[in-house]
Each structure stands twice: as C-alpha cells, then as structure tokens.
Chain A
Amino acid sequence: MSKKFWEELPQGSVVLEAGSSAEFKTGGWRSMRPKWIEENCIQCLFCWMYCPDMSVKVNAEGKREEFDFDFCKGCGICALECPGKKGNKAIVMEEEGK
C-alpha cells in the first residue's frame, strides 16, 4: 500500500540533512549587486568575515574569489567594509539587473 503524503513526513519534524538551506537560494532577494574589482583587492578577507550570507567564495589557498550570487542578498556590508587599495574600493554596489 502506498503511503499517504503525511505519513512520510519526518518524525517530530526533525531535519536530518545538515546545512540543507544551501538548497534554498536567496540570491533572488537582491536589489543591489556587489561588484568585485580584483585589481583593487588586497585579499584582506574582511568581506568574507563580515558577510552575513556566507556568499564570498574562498579557494583552497584561502584566497578570495567571486561572490556566490546564488545566496548574496546584496546588503552591501562587504562594500562598506572593504578597505581597497590606496583608497580604491575592491567592491562597489551596483543596481541589480543593470
């Protein structure tokens, strides 16, 4: 006999898959989009440390790469905190979809 929909729900509503929110993309929330200007980046990683959405990708050597636009909500903390190189920001905010 096939089970009813509600019979297949996890017992006690426990979520068994850790970090499953990674399947829920929040990038669509963005109205502003951060742009990374690599030549101004000093690899301080403040953007990585302060990102509330774990949306700054870092490679195996611990170097910053592109944003993860699947999740970035475009808050702009990274751009504000970015020290840049000689006063030139490595992150600027642009309007999404422009």
Chain B
Amino acid sequence: MGKIVAVTGNEACAQALKQINPDVCAAYPITPATDLMQRFSSYVNDGKVDTELVLVESEHSAMSACIGAAAAGGRVATATSSQGLALMWEMLHIAAGTRLPIVMPLVNRALSAPLNIHGDHSDGMGARDTGWIQIYSENAQEAYDNTFQAFRIAEHLDIRLPAMVCMDGFIVSHSIERVEYIDDADVKSFVGKFQAVNPLLDIDNPKSYGPLILTDLYHEYKRAQHEVMTKVPNIALEVAADFEKMTGRKYGLFEPYRLDDAEIAIVVMSSAAGTTKDIIDNYRDKGVKIGLLKPRLFRPFPYLEIANALKDVKAIAVLDRADSFGGYGPLFSEITGAVMSMDTKPAVTNKIFGLGGRDYLPDQAEKVIDELIKVAETGKVENIKEYIGVRE
C-alpha cells in the first residue's frame, strides 16, 4: 500500500504528474489551477522530473505548444481552468482532431462575466464537444487516481485522444483531504512507456501534420473520430480493472450509490455527489428508496450503461453545476438522452445549483428529494428546470 497523506486536490494532481514524469508540459497560470502547475514547476526546478516546462504567454499558446510537443512524439500534460480553457477552445478541437493524447487536469471554475474564480462546470461543459475525453472526479483521491488512468486511456493505441481530468475548483483543488499515494514504481509500470505514433521528430520519415481537408473527406474524418470515442468506455473499464488490481480502488464509467432497489434517483457529478450521498443515507434511514448516480466519464457519455442503471427508477432529479441559458442543463440533456432508450420512462427534473461556487448545502438536496418523492407518486413534473439555492 502507498503512503497516506493529507493534501489538496491540486497537490495530489501535481504529485501524479510528478510520478508520471511527462516529457513536456506547457502551461499558463489561472486560479484555481495555478497552484497545481506551481507545485509541478518546483519539481522541475528541483530536478525531480525530466520534464521540459514551457512557460508560455497564454493558454492558447499552452495548448498549441502541447500540440506541437505531442505531435513531436512524447508524453505531454498541461492544466487549466475556466477562462484559460475558453481561450484554448480552438486548439482543443485541433488536439482531438489530430488525435494527440495530451492529458490536462481541468480545475473546474465558473466563466466570466461576471468575473468569478470559484467552482462550477461551465468551463468543462463548454468543452463538451471538442472531442476530448472528460473524466470528472469527486474528491482529491479520485482526481489523483483519474490522472494516471487518463494517461493510459488517452495513450492507448486504439484511442490516441486527449483527456481532461476534472475536479471542482477550490472545493477539491484547495481542500485538504486524505489521499492514498501510489508507489513510484507501481505508477511507472501502470502508466508504461510512451509509444510514439507518427512522431514528427522521426527526421528520416517526414510527415505533414494538419492538411486542408475539404468537402470530400472532412465528414468521414469526423465519422472516424466519433468511432474512436465509442471505443473509450471499454478501454476505460480495462484500465480501471488494472488500477483496481494495483490499488484496490474501484472505478467504473459512473458510480452507482444505493441504486439497486432505488425508486428515485439523483444524478450529480463531482464533489456535490459526496454531500448528496450523506443526505441519501438519511432518507434511506427513513425508509425512502433513493439512490444516486455519479457520472465519471462524461465524454464519451455512456448512455446505455446509465440507462440500464436507472431503468427501475420512477423519477430522477438531475443536478447541473452549469447552465445552458435558454436550454436545459448539459447533464440533464444527456440523462434524458439516456432515458430515450428505456421501455418505461421515468420522470426527470433538472436543478441548476452551485454556480460560481455557491454552496451546495444539505437543505438544497433535501428539498430536491422531497419534491422527487412527490414526482414519483404523481408521475407529474411541474417545472422541468429550476434554480436551487438561489436567493429570491
């Protein structure tokens, strides 16, 4: 068993990157991810890693340099949050379309305006369609563990796609938690050696990256890109199985919590799942058959597997820590997408919570559950989408 430490999410992720020892990191500071790369920088400057650190002048350049470095043929990582991710937007698509296995911890934070530095999922959800694999973490341990698994999935020869490892800004990135570290030697054998595919640095076999592809092939390239994404869940499960062998910690495409005989369910991602589990325990004690589903892999989204896990519930509340103004929350849209394949469709409600770091408190969860009990009884949803924890 590895060492047990008390660290923040950022610290744990920086430690993971140190143990992985990427060949190149290109990064730019932004709260709350800054602290992660700061820590990593001191590993570089103390000679604890071999990484070439490229301290660029913007996140756009950070991702551009990562793309160049990954195409060159080595292991690459960066980290960012919020505005930084937004500035990378163009390059996120290019990293995925070029099939470069870059790994990026994303410390989730709200987007401007108004300016806010606290945690919500607006940034990650905005990057939903960029072609990146997205893995969401509930706590520091998961963020740490997911980082290793992300490298394995992204670099898998059948995949070669970039991956984001998401954790909630401040709530996870800056809170000290108990984390069990993995021994360096185990990390080394788990992550393995980087295998270059078509490296630019192979001077004797020159390749051209980034051609113009017009109407006669673009559609097919995108079809192929989608196909690769469909292979991710199986690989993610294989990797998780290896990880469990090494650490005893179990990961799936999502985490079901007390779902087996549940009649109602809450779907929520990341740190809010922790709070919700406690409340669910209280309701269970009162005899309410309630469970929780916490998506871990958001891209690709495991629709059928989630539908199967929720097939016996009568009502679902989907809690989104991001909004689509004038639309439903992004997680809600995915869950209703999953529900489409069910024979008997449950009633589904959408609650928008915790934007800009607004606390998600037990009474909010309780209100949602009380309402959900009624929805399950009547089968009727009055307001599909509602803000909770909002001052009125």
Contact present for A9 and B221 (CB under 8 Å): yes
User: Is A5 an interface position by the 8 A CB rule?
Assistant: yes
A1-44 CB contacts (< 8 Å) to partner B: 5-7, 9, 11-16, 18
Contacting residue for A5 out of B97, B210, B220, CB 8 A = B220
**Taking the complex as formed, is B321 at the interface, i.e. its CB lies under 8 A from any CB of chain A?**
no
- CA A14 to CA B100, docked complex, whole Å: 11
**Chain A residues with CB under 8 A of B206:** 18
Contact B223 A12, beta carbon cutoff 8 Å = no
| Neighbouring A residues of B227 by C-beta, 8 Å | 6-7
**How many residues does chain A have at the interface if contact means C-beta atoms less than 8 Å apart?**
11
**Bound: A5/B223 CA distance, A:** 10
Query: Cβ of A9 and Cβ of B220 under 8 Å apart?
Result: yes
Q: Provided the pairs A6-B223, A6-B224, A18-B208 are in contact, do residues A12 and B217 lie with their beta carbons within 8 angstroms? A: no
CA distance A92 to B26 in the complex (A): 54
Which residues of chain A are near B223, meaning CB under 8 Å?
6
Interface assignment of B121: CB less than 8 Å from any CB of chain A: no
User: Are the C-beta atoms of A16 and B207 separated by less than 8 Å?
Assistant: yes
Q: Given A5-B220, A9-B221, decide whether A14 and B198 contact each other with a Cβ distance below 8 A.
A: yes
Nearest Cβ on chain B to A67's Cβ, whole angstroms: 27
Report the minimum CB–CB distance from B162 to chain A (whole Å).
Answer: 11
In the complex, what distance in Å separates the CA atom of A61 from the CA atom of B98? Answer: 43
Task: Tell me which residues across on chain B come within 8 A of A18, comparing CB atoms.
Answer: 205-208
Given contacts A6-B221, A9-B217, A9-B220, contact A15 B97 (CB under 8 A): no
The interface bits of chain B over 310-351 (1 if a CB of A lies within 8 angstroms of the residue's CB, else 0) are: 000000000000000000000000000000000000000000
A11 lies within 8 A of B208 (CB):
no
Q: Which chain A residues border B217 with CB–CB below 8 Å?
A: 9
List residues of chain A with CB within 8 A of the CB of B18: none
Q: From known contacts A5-B220, A16-B198, infer whether A11 and B207 are also in contact, taking CB-CB under 8 Å.
A: no
User: In the bound complex, do residue B213 and residue A13 qualify as a contact, i.e. CB atoms below 8 Å apart?
Assistant: yes
- B 200-231 to A, binary, CB cutoff 8 A, 1 in contact else 0: 00000111111101000100110110010000
Q: How far is the CB of B215 from chain A (nearest CB, A)?
A: 14
Assess whether B98 is in contact with A12, with CB atoms less than 8 Å apart: yes
Q: 28 A-B Cβ contacts within 8 A? A: A5-B220, A6-B220, A6-B223, A6-B224, A6-B227, A9-B220, A9-B221, A9-B224, A11-B197, A11-B198, A12-B97, A12-B98, A12-B160, A12-B198, A12-B209, A13-B97, A13-B98, A13-B210, A13-B211, A14-B98, A14-B198, A14-B207, A14-B209, A15-B208, A16-B198, A18-B206, A18-B207, A18-B208
Binding site for A on B (CB under 8 A): 97-100, 160, 197-198, 205-211, 213, 217, 220-221, 223-224, 227
